[in-house]
Amino acid sequence: MTERLLDDPGKRERFFARLMKTVPHFDSLGIAYEQAGKDWVELRMPYAESLVAYPETGVIASGAIFSLMDTAAGMSVYIRIGRFEPHATLDLRCDYLRPATPGLAVFGRAECYKLTKRVAFVRGIAHDGDPDHPVAHVAGTFMFTGKP
């Protein structure tokens, strides 16, 4: 059995800190690791004028929120299996429920709720401070791309 390195909080923190610095896309969006549990992860994307779609509204572009949620969903797979395992997004549906509040950070929380040999199933929400009043909901699948 492969060691579950991400079960150790210190190793998990270092893994996500390194990953966040390695991927320029995360840095461009300001995405940062917040917290994680046994099958979920929560990320934070700060409000930034560069992420606003229409300046007259001040609302963060839906594409930035989608990127946040794709990242959180993918990372929830790492958490669930306890280690880095290459995988790719097969499908990710994002239902926007309302605009994010201008000026507030957006949090993306996703969980990997089912694993098969080759596919991980995920779901999650984006919110701007109140998880009971989400900005968006996602559901999707990820395929493991390494050797079976």
**Residue 134: count of CB within 10 angstroms of its CB:** 19
- The pLDDT of residue 1 is above 80: no
Query: How far lies 139's CA from each of 30, 39, 44, 89, 104, in Å?
Result: 23, 15, 19, 11, 24
- Cα-flanking dihedrals φ and ψ of residue 83, to 5°? -165, 170
Tokens encoding 138: 């996602």
Q: What is the pLDDT of residues 107-142, one digit of tens each?
A: 999 999 999 999 999 999 999 999 999 999 999 999
Give the model's pLDDT for residue 3.
67
Give the model's pLDDT for residue 148.
67
* Confidence grade of residue 83 (pLDDT, cut at 50, 70, 90): confident
Which residue would you say has higher pLDDT here, 5 or 39?
A: 39
Rounded Cα–Cα distance for residues 27 and 66 (Å): 15
Q: What is the pLDDT of residues 10-68, one digit of tens each?
A: 888 888 888 888 888 888 999 999 999 999 999 999 999 999 998 999 999 999 999 99
Q: What is the mean pLDDT of residues 97-107?
A: 97
